[in-house]
Amino acid sequence: MGTLGDFNLNGLKADFGLRHLVEVGTGSGAAVDLAAPLGFDHIHSIDSQHKLALATALRHSARQDITVIHARSEKGLKEALEDIPATAPTLFWLDIDYPGADARLQADPDARLERELRLICGLRSMGQDVLLVDDLSLYKGDLAFVAELLGATHMIDRSPQGTGVLIAIPKRT
Amino acid sequence: MFCGLSMAGGRVEGFDFEVSKGRLAPNEIIDSSTSPPGRFLLEVGRRVLKAKPQTDLVAVGNPLLPLKSEQIAGWLGKGHGPAVITDEDGFPLVYLLPREMFEDWARFLTVLCCCDGKIDGRLLAGVLGTAVPLLKAAVPKIGRYPVSTATGWFQGRDRQNVLKMLALNATRLIEEPGERWKSLPFAVFHPYHAGSIVFFAAAARKVETPLYQQHVVCSTYRDIWDYAGSPLQPVWLKLPWLPRDNSVGEPQYALHSFERLGQDVMDNSFITFNRYSRTSGSASFHRIDHDRFALGDSLDSPEVTAQWQAPDVRGRCVLPAEPLKVLFHINGGLPIKSYPSDHARLLFRTLQGLGIQASVIGHRPDLAGFGVISVDAEETEPLHKAVSEHHIFVGLDSFPHHFVRNVMGWPTIGLFGNTLAANFGGGWNEQYRTLDASLPCNPCGGDAKCPLFGRKECANYVGPGPLISAIVEMGRRLYGFHA
């Protein structure tokens, strides 16, 4: 299992002009804590485990620019993306196997990732966004949908660090 | 107990009221778990003015104290204008208020903290535009409140601090230069759980002129809000809901919430803490009526309560009567809140034998052998769709039940275990009935296990027999089903 700390977050932010962070899988809140001082316009973090979401939410309750959403990932993504302009450069930190993933969906994490990605692409003009998907080695299915959804706008790579990360960054024009 | 005095032309007359246990006699005030103390103060004033319309000044005993009218009459001294009478530490004992406070400025009474005379005196002075002095009565200092009592009251210092904080915020707004405060909205702070949203919305639909215009609600309940049809404006609180296991106290959660709502909300609305002092399961009334009272209805006779009145929405399945389709919500998260497993197996085996098609919300492969279909209906939209495809809904004392009953008005059988049907069910008719085993331990309030035997499951759920009878009977009456 990787962490957002494995990446040079400041560097990514500067290189791609990222203004928002959307995380699926709040967990202990480490990614939110890491990103909190970096000056994102807004950080959204989503977890379907109530205790995990609440703990991080209360820790940052005074920060109007941090929202922790307790919901299944798709419902949470819809709520988060309502707040973010469709063209504002956004970093998505998704996770194949986060602890709060719904138990029923755990049996089929592949389907969840595809649904999340289709939802994100359906609600945004994706050309400016960066996507990182953790725990790629746990993914058993066919990733063809990633190329289908992002191939035209993004360079897609796989990093072996940790349990593997799928990296999608905007193609430079 | 509550009390007030009518003061008119030198005459003083006392009125005493009791917390109603269900009768709602003329001297009883409804037991509302979602009303701030100032709402009871307002009600006493209204009752006094109704009984004595010529009243100039109303004295109301602090609703948080066990007072009698005879007692507070002895503390009035020579006060002839607005004042707050306090103990030696400034804890308010009696509020002396002109009738205009109850008629023209009633909603401002709901933001009184009722635990700090200085704060409340300032607030009242700002509203009335006149001095409201603090008068000290010769009474011993009021002691510290118990954090909770066996009869379901909880009113420790932290809760009082929330009331003080909100009263201070209201005072700040009223004391701003100009008259902006007169047009600011009032907001109910009651954001917590999905069922609460349904009940408050149902209550707000029934109140002609609510004291409030806004309702602070957790933003993850947007979908429920959209269906529930509340006439209030939502103020979205972007925090996960309050945990039910008391790992975070309501006062602490409230303070985090006010931080999260931000200065803009605090600067532009009067917020009241609507879960101050009572466990909702202790009172004899339906939660919708708790909320109606909070919103301003006096509810002064039993005929107007939710237990007597038919629901204002009613729906019914349009599918053919056979096969009869029944949707169940039987998993409450914990065994104590769920329909017992042994009962469930026997229930579904029998229903299968009767040709009744059963579906269950949630993933229940263990019941597939009885022909039970698992349905993913944990979000509001799929729940609405799933219910529409079944003739009858059978549910625990939980959100799906309250949504189906109060928003969709669908034929429903409510299953009650460790909670009271009177609090969360009620309004019985041919489309709605509730079942429980009527054990003397109900309601126990047990969260994790049976407090008597330590068992994980609740014995107060009815067995399969009465439930199957209820399903067949409802199917026959409403749809012409024959088993």
DSSP annotation of B323 reads S
What is the pLDDT averaged over residues B207-217?
A: 97
B259 CA: distance to closest CA in chain A (Å): 5
User: Comparing A102-106, B11-15, B26-30, B131-135, which segment has the lowest mean pLDDT?
Assistant: A102-106
- Statement: residue B458 has pLDDT above 70: yes
Q: Which residue of A has its CA nearest to B380?
A: A75
What is the pLDDT averaged over residues B257-264?
A: 97
Q: Spell out which chain A residues touch chain B, with contact meaning CB-CB distance below 8 angstroms.
A: 50-51, 53-54, 57-58, 61-62, 64, 67-72, 75, 79, 103-104
pTM of the model: 0.90
Pairing of strands B214-218, B186-189: parallel
* B92 part of a folded domain: yes
Identify whether residues B469 and B379 lie together within a single domain.
Answer: yes
* B155 part of a folded domain: yes
B257 touches chain A (CB under 8 A): yes
- Take residue A90 and report the two structure tokens written for it: 């956004």
**Is B42 in contact with B272 (CB distance < 8 Å)?**
no
- Take residue B30 and report the two structure tokens written for it: 């409804």
* B121 part of a folded domain: yes
- Statement: residue A2 has pLDDT above 90: no
Provide the pLDDT for residue A145: 92
B247 touches chain A (CB under 8 A): yes
* B100 part of a folded domain: yes
Q: Which residue of B has its CA nearest to A60?
A: B260
Cα–Cα distance measured from residue A1 to residue A95, given in angstroms and rounded to the nearest whole number? 9
Identify whether residues B89 and B237 lie together within a single domain.
Answer: yes
B219 touches chain A (CB under 8 A): yes
Residue B373 backbone phi and psi in degrees, to 5 = -95, 130
How many C-alpha atoms does B327 have within 13 Å on its Cβ side?
Answer: 25
Identify whether residues B211 and B111 lie together within a single domain.
Answer: yes
User: Comparing A38-52, A96-110, B266-280, B365-379, which segment has the lowest mean pLDDT?
Assistant: A96-110
Question: Which residues of chain B are within 8 Å of residue A67 when distances are taken between CB atoms?
Answer: 238
% pLDDT > 90, chain B: 76
B222 touches chain A (CB under 8 A): yes
Identify whether residues B169 and B32 lie together within a single domain.
Answer: yes
Q: Which residue of A has its CA nearest to B374?
A: A104
- Statement: residue A23 has pLDDT above 60: yes
> Closest to A57 (Cβ–Cβ): which among B240, B247, B262?
B240
Q: Which residue of B has its CA nearest to A107?
A: B363
Mutation target among B239, B242, B250, B265 for the A interface, most CBs of A within 10 A: B239
Cα–Cα distance measured from residue B301 to residue B30, given in angstroms and rounded to the nearest whole number? 9
- Statement: residue B395 has pLDDT above 70: yes
Angle between helices B287-295 and B194-206 (to 10 degrees): 60
* B313 part of a folded domain: no
Last residue of a domain, one of B281, B308, B335: B308
Tell whether the torsion through CA atoms of B32, B35, B36 and B42 is positive or negative.
negative
- Statement: residue B417 has pLDDT above 60: yes
DSSP for B379-390, written as a single string: SHHHHHHHHHTS
Provide the pLDDT for residue A109: 57
Provide the pLDDT for residue A104: 47
- Strands lying side by side in the sheet with B432-435: B373-375, B357-361, B325-329, B392-396, B412-415, B432-435
* B389 part of a folded domain: yes
Identify whether residues B134 and B235 lie together within a single domain.
Answer: yes
Last residue of a domain, one of B308, B342, B375: B308
- Statement: residue B251 has pLDDT above 60: yes
Identify whether residues B339 and B433 lie together within a single domain.
Answer: yes
Cα–Cα distance measured from residue B356 to residue B352, given in angstroms and rounded to the nearest whole number? 6
Last residue of a domain, one of B282, B308, B334: B308
Identify whether residues B436 and B339 lie together within a single domain.
Answer: yes
Mutation target among B192, B193, B220 for the A interface, most CBs of A within 10 A: B220
User: Comparing B17-26, B39-48, B307-316, B375-384, which segment has the lowest mean pLDDT?
Assistant: B307-316
User: Comparing A42-51, A87-96, B368-377, B447-456, which segment has the lowest mean pLDDT?
Assistant: B447-456
Residue A162: band (very low, low, confident or very high) from pLDDT cuts 50, 70, 90 = confident
DSSP annotation of B154 reads B
Identify whether residues B148 and B274 lie together within a single domain.
Answer: yes
Cα–Cα distance measured from residue A106 to residue A102, given in angstroms and rounded to the nearest whole number? 6
Provide the pLDDT for residue B313: 76
Question: Which residues of chain A are within 8 Å of residue B240 when distances are taken between CB atoms?
Answer: 50, 53-54, 57, 68-70
Q: What's the burial of A23, exposed, middle or buried (CB within 10 Å: 0-12/13-18/19+)?
A: buried
Cα–Cα distance measured from residue A68 to residue A35, given in angstroms and rounded to the nearest whole number? 13
* B454 part of a folded domain: yes
> Closest to B243 (Cβ–Cβ): which among A50, A72, A103?
A50
Verify whether the Cβ–Cβ distance A104 to B256 is below 8 Å. no
In 10 A of CB B469, how many CB atoms?
12
- Statement: residue A99 has pLDDT above 70: no
Provide the pLDDT for residue A100: 52
Mutation target among A26, A32, A58 for the B interface, most CBs of B within 10 A: A58
pLDDT digits (tens, 9 = 90+) for B183-207: 999 999 999 889 999 999 999 999 9
* B349 part of a folded domain: yes
Q: What's the burial of B439, exposed, middle or buried (CB within 10 Å: 0-12/13-18/19+)?
A: middle
- Give how many domains chain B has, as a whole number: 2
What is the pLDDT averaged over residues B270-283?
A: 81
What is the pLDDT averaged over residues A108-116?
A: 78
Identify whether residues B289 and B368 lie together within a single domain.
Answer: no
Identify whether residues B286 and B330 lie together within a single domain.
Answer: no
**Residues 6 or more apart whose Cβ sits within 8 Å of residue B147:** B154, B155, B156, B157
Beta strands in B344-444 (DSSP E): 357-361, 373-375, 392-396, 412-415, 432-435
What are the C-alpha distances in Å from B136 to residues A105, A167, B93, B133?
Answer: 64, 71, 9, 10
| Average pLDDT of chain A to the nearest whole number | 89
Verify whether the Cβ–Cβ distance A61 to B260 is below 8 Å. yes
> Closest to B220 (Cβ–Cβ): which among A61, A64, A71?
A71
Cα–Cα distance measured from residue B201 to residue B210, given in angstroms and rounded to the nearest whole number? 12
Cα–Cα distance measured from residue B467 to residue B464, given in angstroms and rounded to the nearest whole number? 5
Cα–Cα distance measured from residue B95 to residue B272, given in angstroms and rounded to the nearest whole number? 19
Identify whether residues B254 and B333 lie together within a single domain.
Answer: no
Question: Between these two residues, A54 and B303, which has the higher pLDDT value?
Answer: A54
| Length of chain A counted residue by residue | 173
Q: Which residue of B has its CA nearest to A51?
A: B243
Identify whether residues B95 and B214 lie together within a single domain.
Answer: yes
What is the pLDDT averaged over residues B420-447?
A: 85
What CATH number is associated with residue B381? 3.40.50.2000
> B366: domain range?
325-479
What is the pLDDT averaged over residues B14-19?
A: 96
Verify whether the Cβ–Cβ distance A57 to B243 is below 8 Å. no
pLDDT digits (tens, 9 = 90+) for B133-168: 999 998 888 888 777 776 666 677 888 999 999 999
